[in-house]
Chain A
Amino acid sequence: NAGVTQTPKFRILKIGQSMTLQCTQDMNHNYMYWYRQDPGMGLKLIYYSVGAGITDKGEVPNGYNVSRSTTEDFPLRLELAAPSQTSVYFCASSGLAVYEQYFGPGTRLTVT
């Protein structure tokens, strides 16, 4: 049981490039989330999903897109990378009867 996995672990992007951060969970959780953590700060919600085919914006969605075609996968897309998107990105999941969220190891993204 791997839990929540994220790829890549690290990435450097140039301004204007695009990329997809991958997230997969094997716990059959309905809920999935993307957060970003800026240095010295707590996590802020980017997007979330309550099930396959259903996604919604969180607190800081601008510059990002998501899709949820399966229960397991919840990729995060950055279309035109900007320096303000330099951050650590965490994916998380939780089940219907389990309110705590389980987090992936994070992706450290630098945009220069």
Chain B
Amino acid sequence: AQKVTQAQTEISVVEKEDVTLDCVYETRDTTYYLFWYKQPPSGELVFLIRRNSFDEQNEISGRYSWNFQKSTSSFNFTITASQVVDSAVYFCALSAAMDTGRRALTFGSGTRLQVQP
């Protein structure tokens, strides 16, 4: 069975602070995919990043960066110099590899980030 744990229920920061959202996962698959999605107050789900289990290289996209560590089963997300527009619920998700046929996402319970001006 797969499981994703986001232990931080809610985080509040002041604008321009850096913030890291934690994600820990469990899976028996040797090949899998990890994702982060953003859910702003408007309610839609916005895809941010996908990471393959065989690629542990960290990734940076503007103010966003992701740290994938297979040894600790973690896929953490850092926002540098946070802005009010970053206020949202962020979900970490896990999917089995393509050859299982299903590819459905297992979601964590989400972390609500509030960025105060």
A99 lies within 8 A of B104 (CB):
no
**Cα of A48 to Cα of B91 in the assembled complex, Å:** 20
Inter-chain contacts of A102 with B (CB < 8 A): 47
With A33-B104, A105-B44: A99-B109 Cβ-Cβ less than 8 Å: no
Closest to A101 in B: B105
With A48-B104, A94-B103: A101-B47 Cβ-Cβ less than 8 Å: yes
A42 lies within 8 A of B108 (CB):
yes
A42 lies within 8 A of B109 (CB):
yes
The number of chain B residues with a CB under 8 A from chain A is 22
Closest to B101 in A: A50
Closest to A42 in B: B107
Inter-chain contacts of B43 with A (CB < 8 A): 88, 105-106
Identify which of residues 9-45 in chain A touch chain B, using a CB-to-CB cut-off of 8 Å: 31, 33, 35, 40-45
A99 lies within 8 A of B98 (CB):
yes
Nearest-neighbour CB distance to chain B for A34, whole angstroms, equals: 10
Inter-chain contacts of B95 with A (CB < 8 A): 99
Which of B's residues lie within 8 Å of A, judged by CB? 4, 33, 35, 37, 43-45, 47, 50, 91, 93, 95, 98, 101-105, 107-110
Partner of B109, one of A31, A41, A58, A101: A41
**Cα of A87 to Cα of B108 in the assembled complex, Å:** 17
Nearest-neighbour CB distance to chain B for A83, whole angstroms, equals: 21
Partner of B35, one of A33, A48, A100: A100
A100 lies within 8 A of B50 (CB):
yes
Inter-chain contacts of A94 with B (CB < 8 A): 103
Partner of B33, one of A40, A99, A106: A99
A103 interface residue (CB < 8 Å to B):
yes
Inter-chain contacts of A41 with B (CB < 8 A): 109-110
Inter-chain contacts of A58 with B (CB < 8 A): 104
Partner of A99, one of B45, B50, B110: B50
